[in-house]
Structure 1
Amino acid sequence: MNKAPTYRGNLYSPEAISNPYPVYAELRALGPVVWLQRHRAYAITGYEQCRATLLNDSAFISGKGVALNAIANRLSRGTTLNSDGEDHTDRRKLVAHRLTPRALRSMKEAIETTAEQVATQAVARGQVDGVALARSLPLQVVPDLVGWPEDERENLLKWASATFDILGPINGTSMRSATASLGMLRFARRIARTENVLAGSMGAEVVAAANAGLIPKDEASALMIDYLAPSLDTTISAISSALLLFALHPDQWAEVRADRTLIPNAVNEVIRLESPLRAFSRLTATDTNIAGISIRKGRRVVVLYASGNRDEKAWDSPDVFDIHRDATRHIGFGHGTHGCAGQGLARLESHALLNALANRVQRIELAGKPTWGRNNIIRSLATLPVTLRPIEET
């Protein structure tokens, strides 16, 4: 077995977070498996190696946490993200039935109606923040689905973002998010204890399961966070990135407007190119190897989804946005047992809003410089000033 090449840089520096793709390219040039000296973990950089690692959940486990720090791994106990085997299956099936294709079909009309309203309001304003536009639909759908109290939602975006942020290493970014993340945890525990959840919601089912002894009561709050945070941030990231990419590629927006069957693959291509999730880690459960690199039991491996999705060995012209590319095999939502349970909802919301905009918007134009947010795990725009040129103007 060979020894992994060493990378001495900081994968989670502010510069690497704001502009990660040169760093990923540098890592891939070193090899598909690289030792991150600063973080004491192995980075999995290649597409095939990322995919194989995600599929091998017996050798690369999540039950000891997926963060790069012990505090977050301890706090995330009781979630589907931090579980394996039967524990993972039992937790996931408790609420995932609400996110099956059949369940989502029953929500489709309501989501499309809301998307039409969001698009109409945005076009009427003309110049908007694309990130605020991207937030509008998920914020009207996800909290109701999860069952979050209607009068307790003002901190949801801050809390959800922080819940991801602390899953990186202990650094300035995660430390700034610690208070907000703990705030979400404390609040979720309170509403699970007081059962202040919307009737008929996912949260109501979780509370009922805890009361029936199907899950420990202290896991009810963790499961609510488990589905709330990912269903907001990943979808907002995908929609806002789509708006940016279509503003930069007006010819491809024109193609989408002419042929709406292109929207599903366009969303896949957005998620491939600007993966909402940078990476999660796994712990090796046994001595193993990846691409000929020997890795001992008990080591952390960081599966770089965003690097695999731009791997030159897996994709032609990987840094190019092309809505005609077959991007269905991307790993932007993870893969295997721990693939994002809410990805169907994220797709439904993204498709609905892009279709509603295509009914009204001739061109999406940048109205200023976009800025990227700083988060250890989520790749998402912070601001995106755009002008929506309505169809009737041309």
Structure 2
Amino acid sequence: MTAIPVSDVDLYTEQARIDPYGIYSELRALGPVVHLSRYDLYALPRYDEVRAALMDWQTFSSARGVFVDPDVNARLEGITLCSDPPEHTAMRSVLGRPLRPDQMREVSPRIEAEADRIVERLAGQGGFEVVTELAEYLPMTVVSDLVGLPEHGQAKMLEWAAAIWNTQGPADDRAAAAGPAVEEFMAFATNDAVPGKITPGGWADQLYEAADRGEIPHDKCPVMMLDYVTPSLDTTILAIANVVALFARNPHQWDLLREDRSLIPHAINESLRLETPVPQFSRVLTQDHEISGTPLAAGSRVALLYASANRDERQYPDPTRFDITRRPSDHLAFGRGEHVCVGMHLARLEMSALLERLADRVARFEIKDSRSMINNGLRGFDYLEVAVESVP
């Protein structure tokens, strides 16, 4: 067995948050396991190893946190994302009820009506800012209302979510600056997002109803709000902006989709594969374990580089090409296994509704200006201005 390759690359510089793909390519070339010396992490940059780890929660545990900074990991132990079965199973069962496919069918008419409304308005303007005018619209109009938080909480959800994601890297300036907003959210979740102040029957209220039935402890309810605020907002917003940018850069692919709407699910998968909104999470080994011939000791923290795995040339021929006929349903942007994204059906529904209606109204997108988000846990656009050519 050969020595584990070592890299001192920093995945958290501003440039690396904007464009990490050169770094990912270097890491994949080094081997299936690479020691990132700056953070004492063992990174898995290739597809097969990341997928195998996601499917083996018993060995690759989330219970000691899934981020980078040890203090943050210690504070978040026990939340849904940072737990293992059976505790995780109980919390996920409660969280996932309003997000099941059958529940999404009930929500679908409302999402489609709002998608009609926003696309009708924007497509006739000749151009718009994708992030705030299009991508944020459904999450903030529909999803925040379904969660059922008090109005002043809904207004702060995007700020809080971005701050929470910023704590998922090292203890750097971005993480430090996010601290007050994270504390503000936790105070809100504990004191304001409670029965009597939240919408009866909303998703937040359903957490407390489940606690009253003894399905989860009452003290889990405030931290479980994280699972509705973070995954349901930024990740979907970024995914919507990313797919618009990809179609702007690849107009022939937009022509294909407009001609054949059955390609919409594959376009969503391909955009998530190529531009993964959540680039990585980590796990801790529960026992000595060998990964593709590389032995790692129990207690090692292992970073699963989803965004790198999704561009692994061993899995996807010509991986940097945006091809909506590729049909990459095996991508890892939503994770896999026990911790697969609980909100993925909702995200697909929102993206599908918008793409269907944009295809009716828009013949071409052209990027006029853009700015990348700089965040320790997310990747995508902070600003994306497009001109549109309307369908005659």
TM-score range, shorter chain: over 0.9
RMSD: 1.3
1:350 aligns with 2:351: yes
Aligned ranges 1:194-343 → 2 under 5 Å: 195-343=196-344
What's the counterpart of residue 390 of structure 2? 390
What's the counterpart of residue 188 of structure 1? 189
Aligned-partner residue type, residue 144 of structure 2: P
Aligned-partner residue type, residue 76 of structure 1: L
Q: Secondary structure at the match of 1:386?
A: strand
Task: Provide the C-alpha distance between the structure 2 equivalents of 1:75 and 1:362, rounded to a whole number of angstroms.
Answer: 49
What's the counterpart of residue 86 of structure 1? 86
Aligned-partner residue type, residue 40 of structure 1: D
**TM-score, normalising length: structure 1:** 0.96
Following TM superposition, by how much is the alpha carbon of 1:292 offset from its aligned partner in structure 2, in angstroms? 0.9
Q: Secondary structure at the match of 1:312?
A: coil
Greater Cα offset, 165-174 or 147-156: 147-156
Q: Secondary structure at the match of 2:304?
A: strand
Aligned-partner residue type, residue 129 of structure 1: E
Aligned-partner residue type, residue 217 of structure 2: P
Residue by residue over 1:350-373, the C-alpha shift from the partner in whole angstroms, topping out at 9 and shown as x without a partner, is 0001111111111111122x2110
Task: Provide the C-alpha distance between the structure 2 equivalents of 1:111 and 1:74, rounded to a whole number of angstroms.
Answer: 38
Q: Secondary structure at the match of 1:294?
A: strand
Matched-pair contact (CA < 8 Å) for 2:232–2:347: yes
Matched-pair contact (CA < 8 Å) for 1:46–1:311: yes
Residue by residue over 1:165-203, the C-alpha shift from the partner in whole angstroms, topping out at 9 and shown as x without a partner, is 101111122222222222212211112445421111111
Q: For the structure 1 residues 195 and 50, does the alpha-carbon distance in structure 2 shift closer, same or farther, using more than 3 Å as the test?
A: farther
Following TM superposition, by how much is the alpha carbon of 1:210 offset from its aligned partner in structure 2, in angstroms? 2.9
Residue by residue over 1:38-63, the C-alpha shift from the partner in whole angstroms, topping out at 9 and shown as x without a partner, is 01010000000000011010001001
Following TM superposition, by how much is the alpha carbon of 1:227 offset from its aligned partner in structure 2, in angstroms? 2.2
Matched-pair contact (CA < 8 Å) for 2:63–2:78: no
Matched-pair contact (CA < 8 Å) for 1:192–1:220: no
1:5 aligns with 2:5: yes
Percent identity reads 39
**TM-score, normalising length: structure 2:** 0.97
Following TM superposition, by how much is the alpha carbon of 1:92 offset from its aligned partner in structure 2, in angstroms? 0.5
Residue by residue over 1:93-130, the C-alpha shift from the partner in whole angstroms, topping out at 9 and shown as x without a partner, is 01212111111111111111111111112123322111
Task: Provide the C-alpha distance between the structure 2 equivalents of 1:2 and 1:185, rounded to a whole number of angstroms.
Answer: 46
Matched-pair contact (CA < 8 Å) for 1:282–1:303: yes
What's the counterpart of residue 65 of structure 1? 65
What's the counterpart of residue 25 of structure 2? 25
Residue by residue over 1:244-295, the C-alpha shift from the partner in whole angstroms, topping out at 9 and shown as x without a partner, is 0011111111111111111110000000000011000001111111111111
Q: Secondary structure at the match of 1:85?
A: coil
Following TM superposition, by how much is the alpha carbon of 1:337 offset from its aligned partner in structure 2, in angstroms? 0.5
Matched-pair contact (CA < 8 Å) for 1:142–1:228: no
Aligned-partner residue type, residue 43 of structure 1: A
Task: Provide the C-alpha distance between the structure 1 equivalents of 2:7 and 2:317, rounded to a whole number of angstroms.
Answer: 26
Task: Provide the C-alpha distance between the structure 2 equivalents of 1:176 and 1:324, rounded to a whole number of angstroms.
Answer: 42
1:110 aligns with 2:110: yes
Following TM superposition, by how much is the alpha carbon of 1:208 offset from its aligned partner in structure 2, in angstroms? 2.0
Q: How many residues align?
A: 391
What's the counterpart of residue 101 of structure 2? 101
Q: Secondary structure at the match of 2:67?
A: coil
Task: Provide the C-alpha distance between the structure 2 equivalents of 1:97 and 1:205, rounded to a whole number of angstroms.
Answer: 9
Task: Provide the C-alpha distance between the structure 2 equivalents of 1:66 and 1:268, rounded to a whole number of angstroms.
Answer: 24
What's the counterpart of residue 139 of structure 1? 140
Residue by residue over 1:326-367, the C-alpha shift from the partner in whole angstroms, topping out at 9 and shown as x without a partner, is 211000111111010000100000000111111111111112
What's the counterpart of residue 34 of structure 1? 34
Following TM superposition, by how much is the alpha carbon of 1:137 offset from its aligned partner in structure 2, in angstroms? 1.1
Task: Provide the C-alpha distance between the structure 2 equivalents of 1:260 and 1:131, rounded to a whole number of angstroms.
Answer: 23
Task: Provide the C-alpha distance between the structure 1 equivalents of 2:78 and 2:208, rounded to a whole number of angstroms.
Answer: 14
